[in-house]
Amino acid sequence: MQADKVETDWAALVLRVRDHQDKAAFAALFRHFAPRVKAFLMKSGADAGLAEECAQDVMATLWQKAHLFDPTRASVATWVFTIARNRRIDALRKARRPEPEDLPWGPEPEPDQAEVFEAQQETDKLGQALAQLPDKQRALIERAFYGDLSHSEIATETGLPLGTIKSRIRLALDRLRQQMS
């Protein structure tokens, strides 16, 4: 595993883009994520030219929507994935995908560092668990996320530790509901 995955605080870089339009922070994010987004889109069936073009769009969207990123809810990788997924759906003319209702829990100006760390750790742990799955099972999950499977082909048992993530988000939602009522 590359050292930068565990040592770089990607969320802090996004916040520097958000607060200071920091081009150096953006460049670091770009160098890390753009090539992955490009690979992701090529696996989804885009040719190299389209994938490169769309990867630039995805990174430009990251800049433009930095104020919407909540690092206590999702890691940067997860957020970038959702932007890339939506770009893929548009670019490859896939089915329109309405989003759930927004919740009034917009990002805090000063997110709780422990929660940010937790969200990042979860993605790292998931990545490790994914890498340790039997090849066939891992390939099936990857293909689902590349948009290469229909819903009926998706295996319900992923073998991944999703319970902790679900519980953490559920608690945050319960807290939010209490504040709202």
Partner 1 sequence: MTIRHHLSDQLLMAYAAGDLPEAFNLVTATHVSLCDECRARLAAFEAVGGAVLQEADSVEMSDASLAACLDRIEQMPQATHRAPMRRAGCFPAPLAGYIGGGPESVKWRNLGAGVKQAILRTGRDASARLLYIPAGQAVPDHGHRGLELTLVLQGAFRDDADRFGPGDIEIADEAVEHTPVAEAGPACICLAATDAPLRFNALIPRLAQPFLRI
Residues 91-120 close enough to bind partner 1 by CB under 8 A:
94-102
Residues 119-158 touching partner 1, rule: CB under 8 A, are 122-124, 126-127, 129-131, 141-142, 144-147, 149-152, 154, 156, 158
- Please work out the total of residues on this chain that contact partner 1, with binding judged by CB under 8 A: 82
Cα(172)–Cα(99) distance, rounded to whole angstroms? 20
Nearer to partner 1, 16 or 38 (CB): 38
Query: In this structure, what token pair is assigned to residue 42?
Result: 């090529």
Question: 87 phi and psi, to 5 degrees?
Answer: -65, -40
Q: How far is the CB of 60 from partner 1 (least distance, A)?
A: 5
- Interaxial angle between packed helices 113-132 and 135-145, expressed in degrees from 0 to 180 and rounded to the nearest 10: 130
Q: How far is the CB of 9 from partner 1 (least distance, A)?
A: 14
DSSP label at 46? -
Cα(51)–Cα(159) distance, rounded to whole angstroms? 30
Q: How far is the CB of 156 from partner 1 (least distance, A)?
A: 5
Residues 2-61 touching partner 1, rule: CB under 8 A, are 5, 23, 26-27, 30-31, 33-40, 42-43, 48, 51-52, 55-57, 59-60
Q: Could you tell me if 126 and 161 are in contact, meaning their C-beta atoms sit under 8 angstroms apart? A: yes
